[in-house]
Amino acid sequence: MSFNIRNFSNANDFKKSFGPQTWLKIWFGLVLALVMSVTNNANAAPEPSALTKTSEQGDVEEIVDPFGRQTPRSAVQGFIKALGENNLSLAANYLSLNAGQNSIESVRQLKLALDTGGRLDNELQINNTPSGNLADQLPPTLEKVGTITAPDQVIDLVLVRKTAEHGGQYWQVSSETLKAIEDSNIAAKPSLIDKYTLKPLQGKMISGYNLADIFAVLILALICVAASYIFFAILYFALSIYYPKVRKKPLPIDMKFVLPLALVLTSLILYEVMVYAGVSVTVREPVNRIKDIIGWFASTWLLLRIVDAIFSRAERQSYKKNQTERVSILSLLHKIIKTLLLILACIFIFGNLGFDLTTGIAALGVGGLALALGAQKMIENLVGSVVVVADQPVRVGDYCKFGDLEGTVVDIGIRSTRIRTLNRTIVTVPNGEFSSMSIENFASKDMFHFSQNLYIKRNVDSETIENFLEGMNKFLDEHEYTNSEWNMVRIAELRQDCLMIEIRAYMYASNGLKEFYEMQSQMIIQILKEVEKYPVEHALITQRMIVEASDKDKYNDKVAADF
């Protein structure tokens, strides 16, 4: 059975496509199908086989245990499979029994203890190497794989590693664990399933599993989902009432978070509910794996909802603050994060199904490296886009100068930035290159520098020029366009034919460069009018030409005069 998580990304579409009855049918079909498929494949213990494995040349490669007890995980799987088949003689091979101990009775006691209060570790957490987990605080020959809750104590379920006569090593339930179970006097008590199950289902088997237990699991799962959904729905409605009163703004989440939260909570509590109800360990452990798969599915669904909410809020804020250049980057990051979440979810789900993903992950890594090497420029431009948006040297609408060009930024995209030049053409610059340029942003100016030169003839006397400078400085200080940052009128240079007067000031122009140019023109006109008040003259550029007559011209002039 395959799931398209994208179909559940919209709560409204989900509600329209699936009604309550359809949802119940899907839930029953999902659990039943996964129970049968997962337990028949992933939990299958190796069949008894030869003690040795030989190559085509006849060389002995390794010793294989005939009951598949080479690792702690395979030993647990084989024992559960033997219990499911009700083969107590086969199950006894997974117990470390003392001489004279009744093997069948020991298996019955261990099964009873597991059914009434046993909690095996998650299958993927049980070590799957012949040496076991050497990092725990137990001796190398011991491995803890779960606990059993007895009436007056908690018993650790421990495996012991033994060596066979042929030299191979295998794992069995330790005799100390069996002795502790025997001494605890765990009595068989009627469970909730025994009390309330339907009589026609009792004793009926399907694929080696008790039909009453399977039916009980379905009912318990539905009860957990319904109770969790009601709990989070009540919590949501309570928050939707009180949150706006306290924070003075609407609740940032909606009802679409309730269902994935309910499924996550169900995956957390279902195992304990099954233990309390007395579901047999032969059904409980396969269902535990299915529960973990549904838990990962629901967690991914919930994280996708959260990511959607976060990025939707960020995009709304970008539009509100007129930072439209951020929207394209946010959209790209949104898709990347959702894709990574789906990939991680698939890895964990297939890992829970028992698939070895080491080779697949390595292939993805090599493929990703090859893709990255082949798309260096694209990645460079993508990183450049993030830098431009994060550092914000320019924004859409800013007038800037970069390299040998200048113009107005019209768009900051994922790959490139587009700028309209003074010639009204569009220049497209890759963001990887644009982010490394020296960019002068005129729109970020807090004020504009006004600087002009006047050229006054040298025929003016010193007292007049002194009064002129004093009057022009006062004119700048009191002008409505200027501020107190730096106003100055000075003699910048004494030339042979004129005095160069430098006029400097700073001006506020809130609407940018265009407004400054208009203010500059008005300022120059008013300065010229102010200069007219003083007895000074503008020095104009002049040229002096000296023409000398030739000897022939002089002779002709003399002849003409005598005549």
Is the pLDDT confidence value at 15 over 70? no
- pLDDT at residue number 167: 76
CATH topology assigned to domain 447-531: Alpha-Beta Plaits (3.30.70)
Is 561's pLDDT higher than 50? yes
Exposed, middle or buried, 332 (CB in 10 Å: 0-12/13-18/19+)? Answer: middle
Separation CA 233–CA 236 (nearest Å) = 5
* pLDDT band per the 50, 70, 90 thresholds, residue 427: very high
Q: With bands split at pLDDT 50, 70 and 90, how would you rate the model's confidence at 368? A: low
**pLDDT score at 123:** 79
Output the pLDDT for position 46: 42
Weakest-pLDDT range from 3-12, 39-48, 270-279, 531-540: 3-12
- Asked whether 174 and 96 are in contact (CB, 8 A), the reply is yes
- The pLDDT tens digits of the residues spanning 138-150 come to 888 999 999 988 8
The whole-number pLDDT of residue 207 equals 67
Q: What is the per-residue pLDDT across 38-80, written as a single tens digit (0 to 9) for each?
A: 444 444 444 444 444 444 444 444 567 788 899 999 999 899 8
551, two tokens:
């000897």
Beta bridge partner(s), residue 429? 417
Q: Given this model, what pLDDT does residue 115 score?
A: 84
The Cα–Cα gap between 322 and 484 comes to 32
The predicted model gives 274-290 an average pLDDT of 83
Query: Among the ranges 157-166, 290-299, 318-327, 516-525, which has the highest mean pLDDT value?
Result: 516-525
> Six-digit token pair at 168?
């191979």
Cβ partners under 8 Å of residue 102, min gap 6 = none
Structure confidence at residue 489 (pLDDT):
93
Confirm or reject CATH 3.40.50.10440 for domain 394-443, answering yes or no: no
- Average pLDDT over the chain reads 78
Give 9 or 292, the one with higher predicted confidence: 292
pLDDT score, position 161: 92
For the cut 90, the answer to whether the pLDDT of residue 272 exceeds it is no
Q: What is the 3-state secondary structure (H, E, C) of 367-406?
A: HHHHHHHHCHHHHHHHHHHHHHHHHCCCCCCCEEEECCEE
The answer to whether residues 477 and 553 touch, using CB atoms and an 8 Å cutoff, is: no
The confidence score (pLDDT) of residue 454 equals 92
Q: For 464-516, how does the pLDDT look when each residue is reduced to its tens digit (9 = 90+)? A: 999 999 999 999 999 988 888 889 999 999 888 899 999 999 988 877 777 88
pLDDT of 210 = 73
Task: Say which range, 313-317, 354-358, 401-405, 479-483, has the weakest mean pLDDT.
Answer: 354-358
320 vs 301 pLDDT, higher one: 301
Q: At what angle do helices 20-41 and 281-320 cross, to 10 degrees?
A: 130
> Is residue 159 scored above 90 in pLDDT?
yes
pLDDT value of residue 262: 92
The structure's pTM equals: 0.57
H-assigned helices in 248-321: 258-277, 281-320
Residue 416's pLDDT band, with cuts at 50, 70 and 90, is confident
Could you identify the residue written with the tokens 């990092």?
135
Which token pair is 234?
């009540």
pLDDT at 9: 39
Among 352, 173, 192, which Cα is nearest to 275's?
192
Question: Has residue 438 got a pLDDT over 80?
Answer: yes
CA separation for the pair 108, 88 (Å, rounded)? 8
Average pLDDT score over residue span 439-446: 80
Per-residue pLDDT band at 216 (split at 50, 70, 90):
confident
Statement: residue 202 has pLDDT above 60: yes
Percent of the chain's residues with pLDDT above 70 = 75
pLDDT-wise least confident of 66-80, 196-210, 310-324 = 196-210
Task: Give every CB contact of residue 316 below 8 A, 6+ residues apart in sequence.
Answer: none
What integer pLDDT is reported at residue 169 of this predicted model? 87
Least confident residue range of 39-48, 170-179, 283-292, 550-559? 39-48
pLDDT of 119 higher than 80:
yes
The ranges assigned to domains in the chain are: 5-26+208-355, 52-189, 394-443, 447-531
Confidence of residue 30 (pLDDT cuts 50, 70, 90): very low
pLDDT tens for residues 225-264? 999 999 999 999 998 888 888 888 888 888 888 999 999 9
pLDDT above 50 (res 552): yes
Cβ atoms of 238 and 259 closer than 8 Å: no
- Average pLDDT in the 170-182 region? 89
Instruction: Give the tens place of pLDDT for each residue, 443-465.
Output: 777 788 899 999 999 888 889 99
Give the whole-angstrom CA distance, residue 95 versus residue 113.
14
Mean pLDDT within 377-392: 73
